[in-house]
Structure 1
Amino acid sequence: MVGRKKRTQNCDKVSHEEDEDRISQLPESLISEILYHLSTKDAVTTSVLSTKWRYLWQWVPGLDVEFNTFSNINAFMSFAERFFYSNRGSWIRKLRLNISDPFGKCDLNSWIDVFTTRRIQHLAVDYIPTSEIPLSIYTCKTLVHLQLVRAALAEAEFVSFPCLKIMHLEDVIYPNETMLEKLISGSPVLEDLLISRPYPWYDKAKVLQVRSHRLKRIDIDGSTEVVINAPLLLCLRTMIYLTKNFKIISLGFPTKLDIDVVFSKKKTCCKGLIHDILTDISRVRDLVINNVILKDILLYSNSGQLFQFRDLSRLNAGFAKSDLEMLPTILESCPRLESFTLELVKDPSMCGKMKKEPNVMFSAVPQCLVSSLKFVELKRSIPRYEGEMKLIRYFLKNSTILEKLKLNVYYTKKEKCDFFTELVSMTRCSSACKVLVL
C-alpha cells in the first residue's frame, strides 16, 4: 500500500509539471499571437521563462515602445533594432513608436523602410523630428491605420495608400498644401480623417483641402482656411476661427456635427459661415455646438423665421449665462429632441463688464418637453448660477416623459444641504424620472 501511494504521488507530480508547461507545447505562431495581445514590456519579460521563450518576443507581430522607458538612447536603439532586424521576413501587424530624439541618433528612416515591406497594417509614430519621414511610407500598400504626431513630412511626387481607412495627423509639418492634398487623394478608401494643425508659423500649408468621396468622419482643428468636399460625410468636428474661411462645397447629411468657434481679438461676422452650413445642419441628428454659432444660426435667416432642427435628437450646447434667455427658443426649434446637455461656460465678451443675471422666461413649454425629451444633463464650469434651481424645476415640472436628469454641478458643504432639500421637494411631471447628482 505504501508503494502504491508513492507511485500515485509520482504520477500526480509528472501530470502537474505537464500542465504547467502545456503552453510551451503550443506552436510558436500561436504563442506569438498570444504575446501580441500583451504589452510589449510583458511580452519581452517572458524571455526569462526558458531557452525556448528567449527570442519568441521578437516574432510578435506588434511593438509598442516609448523612448522614455529606456535608460538612454543607445538602449532604446539596441532594443528596436533587435526587433526590426531579427527576422526580416516576419509580419509586423501593429507598431507604435514614441521617440524624442533631438540629436538624431535614431535611424528612423531605415526602420520605416523595413516595416513598410513587412505588411504593416497599423502604424503610430510620435516623433520629434530632426529629419523628414522617408518617402517609402507614402507607398505602403498594406496600411489600414496611420497616425503621425509631431512628424515632418517630405514632399513626394506620388502617394498611394490603397487600404488606408483611418488617418490621424496631429501637429504634423507639411512642405506645402499640395502634399496634404496628395495624402487624402491618395487614400481612395479613407473613412476617418483627423487633422490637428500646428501653429501657422511652423506650417507652410495655409489652405486645407479635404476632398474625398468615401470619408465618413472628419475632425479638423487648426487656424487655417478649410474647404470640404465630402458627399458621404456622417460626422464632422471642427474648430472655426472666424477670421478664416470655412467653405463647404459638397457635404452629405452628417448624423453628428461638432462645431466650435474661436474668436480673434476683434469679432468678425460669421454670416457667410452660417450661410454655408445652414442647408446641411438642418438634417443633423446629433449636434455639439457652442453658444456663439448656435445663437447666430437661430437669428440668421433670410425669411426672418425661426430656424428648425427638425431631425435633431441629441444636442450638446455650451451657454454663457447671458445666453440663457434664448434657451426656450432653442428648445422650441428642436421638436424631436431626446437628449439635451447644457453646459454653462464663461463668456469672454463679458470680461471686465458688470455681470447681470439673465431673465429667463419659462412660461412656454416647447413641444420636445411634452413628446420626446428623455435625458437632460446640466453642468457648469463657472460658479453657481442664481437661477439654477429655477432651471432645474422647469425641466422636472414640464418634461412629460423625462427618464433621467443628471446634475454635474459643484456645491460647497454649506450649499449642499439647502440644495438637496429644495431638490427633493420639487414636483416631477414624469414619475419615471431619476435625478442623479454628481
Structure 2
Amino acid sequence: MIRGFRDRIGTMIDRGAQHLDIDSSNCICYIDGFRYWIDIGYLKLTSSGLRDPAGFVYMPCLKFMHLEQVVWDTHLDTVISGCPVLEELTLLRDPHDKYKALLVRTQSLKRFRLLPLRNGYVRSRVKCTLEIDTPGLEYMSLGDDHIDSIVVKNLTSLLVVELDIKFVAGFAVHFDTWNLTKRSEIISDFLNGISSVRHMIIISAKTVQAFDHYSKAGMIPKFNNLSCLQAVFRSYLLQFLPAFLQCCPNLKHLLLVVHSGKMDEGLKLTDVPRCVSSTLECVEIQEKLELEEGKMKATSYFLGNSAVLKKLILSRTAYDPRDVLESEIWEKVNKLKKRSPGCEIIIRAMEED
C-alpha cells in the first residue's frame, strides 16, 4: 500500500470526486478503504488488489465498474453485492487469480464484458467457472478462452451477445464430436441459456468453427428471437452456413464477413433454411473476395433463394477496383438469378490507400 494512499482517496471523495481510475502499473497496490466511496459513480481499477476487511464494500451510487487484472483477496460477488445500482461491469482477469469461481449475480446489471487476457499464451493457474445470473442483462460480450466453463442463468432480458470464444480452455484442447462429456453438456446449457438473444455478433471465425463442431452433435439450439446476426466465416466454413442459419428461423438481417482463403471447389450451398426463404430482408457481405466463378456462391445463394430480400450489399472491401472493374462485377451479379424482384443490390468498392 502506498503510504497515505487511503487518506488521499478519502480526500478526493470528500471533494466530490465521482469518477475514480486507479492504475498501479507495474506493482500491485492493495485497496481496502471502500467504505469511503459512497459517492463514486465510476470505478476503474487496473493492476490493483482488493482486500476484504469486515463490511468493506458499499458503493450505493456506483453504476460503472471496470476491473482489469485485479488480484483478489475477496470474492467478486461480495464486491458486486455492495453495488445495488451497478449497470455496467467489465472484467479482465489476472492470470494468477487463485479463485475457482467468478460469480456475477445482480438484478441491476445491464451490460457485461469479459475481456481476453492481454497475453493469449499465458495460462491461468487454476480452472475457473464463470457464473452469470443477471435477469436485467441486455448486453453480454465474452472474449476469454481461459475460463474453463461459463454458466448462465435467468438471462431473460438479453438483447445482444458478442462471442469471441472457441468454447475450450487451455492449450491443444479439441472437441470430440462423438464424446459428449460433462463439458459438452455445460456448453449445450450455455447455448440454450443465450438462445433468447435478438442480436448475435460473432467476431472470430474460431467461434463459428466451434459452432460447426457442436452442430454435428445436435447441440445448437434454435435462436427463435434472433433477428440480426453478424458472423465471421473462413471460406472453407461456408459449407456450414445453411446449417447455422437453420438455427435462426426468424432472422432478418445478416452481416457476413468472409475471410479469404482456400475454398472447397466442390462447395454447394443447396439447403435453404426457413429464414433464407421467408424472413431475410438484408444481407451484407464483407471482406475481400475474388469474384470469380465459385467465389460468388454466397451472393448467388441469397439472391436465388430469398423471397423477401430487400437489399444485398457487397461492402467496400468486397472487391479491389485495382484488380476488378466495377462494370465487371455488375455484369457478373446481373447474371445471377434473383428470387425477390424488388431486391436492391449495392456494390461498394474498396477504397484505395
TM-score of the superposed pair, with normalisation by structure 1: 0.63
SS of corresponding position for 2:86: coil
Distance apart, 1:286 and its partner CA: 1.0
Assess if the C-alpha contact under 8 Å between 2:115 and 2:143 holds in 1: yes
Within 5 A, what are the aligned runs for 1:104-143? 109-128=6-25, 130=27, 132=29, 134-143=31-40
| Aligned residues with identical type, % of pairs | 27
Residue 293 of structure 1: aligned partner:
210
> How many Å apart are 1:422 and its aligned residue?
2.1
The number of residue pairs the alignment matches comes to 321
SS in 2 for 1:287: strand
Instruction: Give, as a single letter, the amino acid of the residue that structure 1 aligns with 2:46.
Output: V
Quick check: which has more Rg, 1 or 2?
1
Q: What's 1:309 paired with?
A: 223
| Cα shift at 1:261 | 1.9
Q: What secondary structure sits across from 2:249 in the alignment?
A: coil
Could you say what secondary structure the match of 2:200 adopts?
strand
Which residue does the alignment assign to 1:435?
346
Q: What is the Cα deviation at residue 410 of structure 1?
A: 4.6
2:42 is the counterpart of 1:145: yes
Identify the residue that residue 25 of structure 1 maps to in structure 2. none
In structure 2, the CA distance between the partners of 1:272 and 1:250, relative to structure 1 (3 Å rule), is same
Q: 1:139 to 1:382 in 2, by over 3 A?
A: farther
Amino acid at match of 1:299: K
Q: Deviations over 1:227-278 (max 9, x none)?
A: 2222332222113537712223543341222222245223245513322224
List per-residue Cα deviations over 1:106-142 (Å, max 9, x = no partner). 9765442221223332333344154525433454111
Instruction: Specify the alignment match of 1:175 in structure 2.
Output: 72
Distance in 2 (CA, whole Å) between partners of 1:383 and 1:174 is 49
Output the amino acid matched with 1:405: I
Which has the larger helix fraction? 1
State the 1:311 CA deviation: 1.2
The residue that corresponds to 2:140 in the other structure is 236
Kindly provide the CA deviation profile for residues 34-69 of structure 1, in whole angstroms up to 9, marking residues without a partner as x. xxxxxxxxxxxxxxxxxxxxxxxxxxxxxxxxxxxx
Residue aligning to 2:102 = 208
Answer yes or no: is 1:327 the counterpart of 2:207: no
Distance 1:279 1:113 in 2: 46
Distance 1:390 1:251, change over 3 A: closer
Between the aligned partners of 2:146 and 2:50, the Cα distance in structure 1 is: 28
* 1:218–1:236 contact (8 Å) kept in structure 2: yes
Among 116, 120, 131, the alignment partner of 1:227 is 131
1:43-54 counterparts in 2 under 5 A?
Answer: none
User: 2:2 touches 2:29 (CA, 8 Å); kept in 1?
Assistant: no
Aligned partner of 2:296 in structure 1 is 389
Mind listing any 5+ residue stretches in structure 2 that lack a counterpart? 117-123, 177-182
Change (3 A) 1:386 1:434: closer
Q: 2:89 aligns with which of 165, 181, 193?
A: 193
TM-score in terms of structure 2 length: 0.77
CA 1:147–1:324 in 2, change beyond 3 Å: closer, same or farther?
same
Aligned twin of 2:119: none
Corresponding residue SS for 1:318: strand
Deviations along 1:58-87, one digit per CA (max 9) or x if unpaired, are xxxxxxxxxxxxxxxxxxxxxxxxxxxxxx
Distance in 2, Cα, partners of 1:406 & 1:381: 10
- Structure with higher RCO (Cα < 8 A, 6+ apart): 2
Q: Secondary structure at 2:71's aligned position in 1? A: coil
For the aligned residue pairs, the C-alpha RMSD in angstroms reads: 3.3
Cα deviation code 1:353-407 (max 9, x no counterpart) = xx66163333343332343222222224798897331211222333333224142
